[in-house]
Amino acid sequence: MNEESLRQALAHLNLGAIRYFDSVGSTNAEALDWAGKDAPHLALVIADEQTSGRGRLNRKWFTPRGSAIAASLILRPGASLRSHFSRLAGLAALAIASMCRELGAEPQIKWPNDVLINGKKIAGVLIETVWADEDVEALVVGMGVNVLREALPPAEALLFPAASLQDGLGKLPPAREAILESILRHFLAWLPRLGTEKFLQTWDSLLAFHGARVEIRAGEEAAAVGELLGLGADGDLQLRDEHDRIISIRYGDVSLRPAA
Ligand code: BT5
């Protein structure tokens, strides 16, 4: 991947602008900074390597050179997006999952923000916000995808089993430019349909652990345990607890795992 080939592959998508780095701390940090200045809607920051890539809750995200996608898309939300902020991580996960399907894999989405193939995490999403007083000025949609095996962090750095697209496909994936093009194409196709029932249904149909007993954690704390029923009206996750009560988990810094 280099800047020229990337620009060529993405040219037809009409993004707002593109900033490419061979190496950067975090594409989300760059994008937040740019979004606080003059970045247009659909501006993209992308890097071959991140030296301090981040996950949620100050966790680290590993992006070694030459093996992964680290990209951050800046959105300047209009009225329709404003009513559906809580669906945005789902949109990014769905776009990544759609790319995987296009390549012949069978991805699942581990609510709220991970993409799995064969039960292992191949991608994560981090949404961050630029505030102007109490108003959302811009959103940064950060997406990290493990393309080749070399992208994987050491097992001891993992909270959940990880894999790469190469593992999931059982062969070398296409060039990263083509993979990113596919993700962004799906993202942009769904973006105007974020408020539709069809979007929720498609996202729901890809959810991992449907019908299984799962545990929701907020940080280190177990927040809820129950059978995973699916998505609620605004992308919240619905569980049925042991007393047959429906629990609704709102999108946020929570994580999900199969319950013992
Ligand atoms: C995420 O956080 O999954 C969000 C990851 C978002 C990364 C993108 S890359 C472009 C943009 N720029 C950034 O700086 N970030 C975004 P979370 O659910 O908190 O998961 C973080 C956990 O995943 C870590 O604590 C590790 O256990 C694990 N992890 C780290 N690197 C990984 C990798 N490459 N593949 C799979 N798991 C990883």
pLDDT tens for each residue of 196-242? 999 999 999 999 999 999 999 987 788 899 999 999 988 899 999 99
Could you say which DSSP state residue 251 is in? S
SS3 content of the chain, % helix, strand, coil (to 5): 30, 35, 35
Tokens for 92? 């990014």
Best of 61, 109, 129 for a ligand 1 pocket test (most atoms within 8 Å of beta carbon): 61
**Across the chain, what does the average pLDDT equal?**
95
107 lines ligand 1 (CB under 6 A): no
| Strand ranges (E), 33-162 | 43-50, 68-75, 107-110, 114-117, 120-132, 135-146
Cα 37 to ligand 1 centroid, rounded to whole Å? 26
Tokens for 14? 């009409």
pTM above 0.75, yes or no: yes
Tell me the mean pLDDT in the region 127-132.
94
**236 CB neighbour count, 10 Å cutoff:** 17
- Predicted confidence at residue 251, as pLDDT, reads 85
60: closest CA among 124, 129, 141? 124
Cα 81 to ligand 1 centroid, rounded to whole Å? 25
pLDDT band at 187 (very low <50, low <70, confident <90, very high): very high
Cα 124 to ligand 1 centroid, rounded to whole Å? 5
94 pLDDT more than 90:
yes
- Predicted confidence at residue 211, as pLDDT, reads 96
- Please answer whether residues 72 and 43 qualify as being in contact, where contact means their C-beta atoms are separated by less than 8 angstroms: no
164 lines ligand 1 (CB under 6 A): no
Query: Could you write out the three-class secondary structure of 47-89?
Result: EEEECCCECHHHCECCECCCCEEEEEEEECCCHHHHCCHHHHH
250 pLDDT more than 80:
yes
Least confident of 58-62, 160-164, 253-257: 253-257
Reduce the DSSP state of residue 105 to 3 states and report it. coil
- Predicted confidence at residue 108, as pLDDT, reads 98
Could you say which DSSP state residue 219 is in? T
Q: Give the DSSP H or E segment for 246.
A: strand 246-249
Residue nearest to ligand 1 atom 38, measured at CA: 61
Cα 244 to ligand 1 centroid, rounded to whole Å? 34
- Please answer whether residues 143 and 96 qualify as being in contact, where contact means their C-beta atoms are separated by less than 8 angstroms: yes
Tokens for 213? 């007993």
Tell me the mean pLDDT in the region 71-75.
98
